[in-house]
C-alpha cells in the first residue's frame, strides 16, 4: 500500500512537470511569433516610416493612426516630450519639425515621413546645453519641470521667429504653452536673455 502511494505521487509529479512544460512552450513560442509579426509582417493600419529624429534616421513600422508624440515616447523611447493634455491645449509635447514648432500630440506620425524632427533631447550639442536651456536654469524658468521641454522648444522657436520685441509679444507667442507652476516670469526672462545674445 505504501509502495503504491509513492508510485502514484511520483507519477503525479512527472505528469504535472510535463503538463507545465507543455503549457509553457506554446506560450513562449506565441510571444516570439508576436514579436516577429510586429516587426516583420506588415499589418492592416501599419505602415513603414523613415524619419530623422535628432539627426538620426529611423526606419520603423508605425500604426497609421499613431501620433508623433506616441511614436517618440513609446517606440523611440524619447520621453522628453511630455503628454500633458493630448489634445493640443497645453504645449507640453512641442517639438520642431523642419525647424518649425509643432504639437506632436496633434501630428500623425505618418505625416512626418522624410522630415527632420528635433526634440528636447537633440537641442543641445552633446553634453553642452543649448543657450535657451542654460537661460531657463539661470532665470528659474521652471519648478516641477513637466512643461519645461515644451516651453524650451517653443521658446527657441519664438526667438527664431523674431517674436521677442516686448514682454507682451513674448507672452502672446508663448501663450500655447501652459505652466501649472506659474514659472512665466522666469520663462519670459529666459527668452529675453537669449534674444539679446
Ligand atoms: S500634450 Fe500636446 S498640447 Fe498638450
Ligand atoms: S514648471 Fe511645473 S508645470 Fe511648468
Same domain, 32 and 91: no
Statement: residue 144 has pLDDT above 70:
yes
SS3 84: coil
Contacts with 90 (C-beta within 8 Å, 6 or more apart), sequence order: 84, 147, 150, 177, 178
Tell me the pTM.
Answer: 0.78
Domain-terminating residue out of 94, 122, 150: 122
In a shared domain, residues 88 and 33 = no
103 beta partners: 94
Residue 74 structural domain:
44-122
Of 68, 79, 87, the one to substitute when testing ligand 1's pocket (max ligand atoms within 8 A of C-beta) is 87
- In which element (H, E) is residue 52 found? strand 46-53
Atom of ligand 2 nearest to the CA of 179: 4
Domain boundary among 101, 122, 143: 122
The answer to whether 141 touches 183, Cβ cutoff 8 Å, is yes
3-state SS track over 165-178:
CCHHHHHHHCCCCC
CATH classification at residue 65: 3.10.20.30
CA–centroid distance, residue 20 to ligand 1 (Å):
47
Q: Which residues of 125-149 are buried (b: 16+ CB within 10 A; e: fewer)?
A: eeeeebbbbebbeebebbeeebbbb
- Tens of pLDDT, residue by residue over 42-87, are 566 888 999 999 999 999 999 999 999 999 999 999 999 999 999 9
For the CA of 144, the closest atom of ligand 2 is 2
User: Which has the higher per-residue pLDDT, 166 or 37?
Assistant: 166
Q: What is the pLDDT of residue 1?
A: 46
Q: Are residues 95 and 85 in the same domain?
A: yes
Q: Domain count for the chain, please give it.
A: 3
CB 103 within 8 A of CB 157: no
Position in ligand 2 atom list of the atom nearest CA 181: 2
Between 180 and 40, residue with greater pLDDT: 180
In this predicted model, what pLDDT tens digit does every residue of 91-143 receive, in sequence order?
A: 999 999 999 999 999 999 999 999 999 999 999 998 999 999 999 999 999 99
Amino acid at each position: 500500500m505504501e509502495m503504491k502511494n509513492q508510485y502514484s505521487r511520483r507519477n503525479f509529479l512527472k505528469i504535472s512537470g510535463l503538463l507545465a512544460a507543455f503549457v509553457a512552450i506554446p506560450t513562449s513560442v506565441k510571444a516570439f511569433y508576436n514579436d516577429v509579426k510586429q516587426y516583420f509582417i506588415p499589418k492592416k493600419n501599419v505602415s513603414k516610416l523613415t524619419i530623422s529624429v535628432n539627426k538620426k534616421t529611423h526606419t520603423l513600422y508605425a500604426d497609421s493612426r499613431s501620433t508623433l508624440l506616441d511614436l517618440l515616447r513609446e517606440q523611440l523611447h524619447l520621453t522628453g516630450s511630455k503628454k500633458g493634455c493630448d489634445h493640443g491645449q497645453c504645449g507640453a509635447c512641442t517639438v520642431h519639425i523642419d525647424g518649425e514648432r509643432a504639437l506632436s500630440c496633434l501630428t500623425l506620425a505618418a505625416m512626418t515621413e522624410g522630415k527632420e524632427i528635433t526634440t528636447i533631447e537633440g537641442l543641445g550639442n552633446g553634453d553642452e546645453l543649448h543657450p535657451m536651456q542654460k537661460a531657463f536654469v539661470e532665470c528659474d524658468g521652471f519648478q516641477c519641470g513637466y512643461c519645461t521641454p515644451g516651453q524650451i522648444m517653443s521658446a527657441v522657436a519664438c526667438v527664431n521667429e523674431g517674436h521677442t520685441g516686448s514682454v507682451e509679444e513674448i507672452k502672446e507667442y508663448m501663450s500655447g504653452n501652459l505652466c501649472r507652476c506659474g514659472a512665466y516670469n522666469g520663462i519670459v526672462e529666459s527668452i529675453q536673455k537669449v534674444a539679446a545674445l
